[in-house]
Amino acid sequence: MEYRIAKRIDNILKNDKMPDPQHICEVLQDELKPLIESYIELNSDLKVRFKKDKNKNIFFIEFSAERIKPYGYIPF
């Protein structure tokens, strides 16, 4: 099963000849926030950071949670 975020990142990397890490961080942030909010009550905004380490691209996803929602939770 292909996830929406995987398709979007794949599209960015294939179509953008000079990928901008900051743009990818923004896309990840926009795509991940609704998914994370399905499971966790956020205390603060979601932050996605990027670091280049030699040939590796490392992404950090940071957020603070009020609580983890119980299994089977249906938002109102």
CB-based contact 58:32 (threshold 8 Å): no
pLDDT in tens, 5-55: 777 777 777 776 556 788 889 989 998 999 999 889 999 899 999 998 998
Task: For residues 49-76, give the mean pLDDT.
Answer: 85
pTM for the full model?
Answer: 0.64
Task: Give the 3-state DSSP-derived string for the chain, with helices as H, strands as E and coil as C.
Answer: CCCHHHHHHHHHHHHCCCCCHHHHHHHHHHHHHHHHHCCEEECCCCEEEEEEECCEEEEEEECCEEEECCCCCCCC
What pLDDT was estimated at residue 71?
77
**The residue type at 40:** I
What pLDDT was estimated at residue 59?
92
What pLDDT was estimated at residue 55?
87
What pLDDT was estimated at residue 10?
74
What pLDDT was estimated at residue 1?
42
